[in-house]
């Protein structure tokens, strides 16, 4: 099969209506108007409009030009699954507590099996800690105290953090967290790779 024949097959297999619907979905996914997409791709607004309406079936070269403005490859364009996107926004009630004890670890995006990190809303009651043993595992972690106080031990270093203070370290370093205060300590933390 020649390169020209392969391009024709690709374009024919895509189908004009499918190309238009896919282009519109990609544009909306980025939150762009037709005018914005046209500007990024270096084509006229009418071109984008006609493709999306299925009134024009673009050549492979024309479609590549439009996709270069995103940027997105032809392969990604034709294989992207628009209807199976994971949830984006979460209410507090949609974040399960994954902590086994009195410390709350509410996990953001718990249902997303493709997560590359864990983001947690943590609540340490007064006097609570992660235990007498120092923790150690692969990855990195960081967090920012929202309210209260948090004593963080990393290796031989100890710091008392308050609202707005944060930490970031390699998780292989032995570490421990403790609330020495008399009110709840609330923080938002993240770790990669996900540990929960």
pLDDT of residue 11: 37
pLDDT tier, 25 (very low <50, low <70, confident <90, very high otherwise): confident
pLDDT digits 0-9 by tens, 109-146:
887 777 889 999 999 999 999 999 999 999 999 999 99
Delimiting residues of CATH 2.60.120.10 domain(s) in the chain: 92-192
Q: What are the structure tokens assigned to 16, written together?
A: 């004009």
Pairing of strands 157-161, 140-147: unpaired
Tracing tokens 């609570």 back to the chain, one arrives at: 128
Q: How confident is the model at residue 62 (pLDDT cuts 50, 70, 90)?
A: confident
CA dihedral 174, 180, 186, 192 (to 10 degrees): 0
Burial of 49 (0-12, 13-18, 19+ CB in 10 A): middle
Q: Is pLDDT at 152 greater than 80 in this prediction? A: yes
How large is the average pLDDT for residues 55-74?
A: 86
Q: What's the pLDDT score for residue 6?
A: 34
Q: Into which CATH architecture does domain 3-79 fall?
A: Orthogonal Bundle (1.10)
Phi and psi based region of residue 12 (left: phi greater than 0; alpha: psi -120 to 50; beta: remaining): alpha
**30 or 105, which is more confident:** 105
Residue extent(s) of CATH 1.10.260.40 domains in the chain:
3-79
Which CATH homologous superfamily contains domain 92-192?
Jelly Rolls (2.60.120.10)
> Phi/psi at 30 (nearest 5 deg)?
-85, -10
Number of H helices, E strands in the chain: 6, 8
With CA atoms as reference, report the closest residue to 146 among 97, 191, 179, 193. Answer: 179
CB 72 within 8 A of CB 82: no
Residues, the chain: 196
Distance, in Å, from the CA atom of 193 to the CA atom of 109, rounded to the nearest integer, reads 14
Run of H or E residues at 94: none
């Amino acid at each position: 099969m020649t390169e020209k024949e392969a391009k024709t097959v690709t374009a024919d297999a895509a189908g004009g209506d499918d190309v238009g619907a896919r282009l519109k979905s990609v544009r909306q996914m980025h939150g762009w108007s037709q005018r914005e997409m046209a500007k990024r791709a270096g084509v006229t607004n009418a071109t984008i409009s006609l493709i999306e309406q299925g009134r024009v079936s673009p050549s492979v070269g024309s479609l590549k030009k439009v996709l270069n403005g995103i940027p997105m490859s032809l392969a990604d364009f034709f294989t992207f699954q628009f209807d199976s996107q994971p949830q984006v926004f979460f209410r507090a009630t949609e974040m399960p507590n994954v902590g086994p004890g009195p410390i709350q670890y509410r996990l953001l995006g718990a249902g997303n099996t493709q997560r590359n990190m864990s983001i947690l809303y943590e609540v340490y009651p007064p006097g609570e800690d992660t235990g007498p043993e120092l923790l150690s595992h692969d990855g990195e972690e960081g967090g920012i105290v929202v309210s209260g106080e948090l004593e963080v031990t990393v290796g031989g270093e100890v710091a008392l953090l308050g609202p707005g203070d944060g930490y970031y370290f390699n998780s292989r370093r032995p570490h421990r967290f403790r609330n020495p205060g008399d009110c709840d300590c609330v923080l938002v933390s993240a770790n990669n790779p996900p540990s929960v």
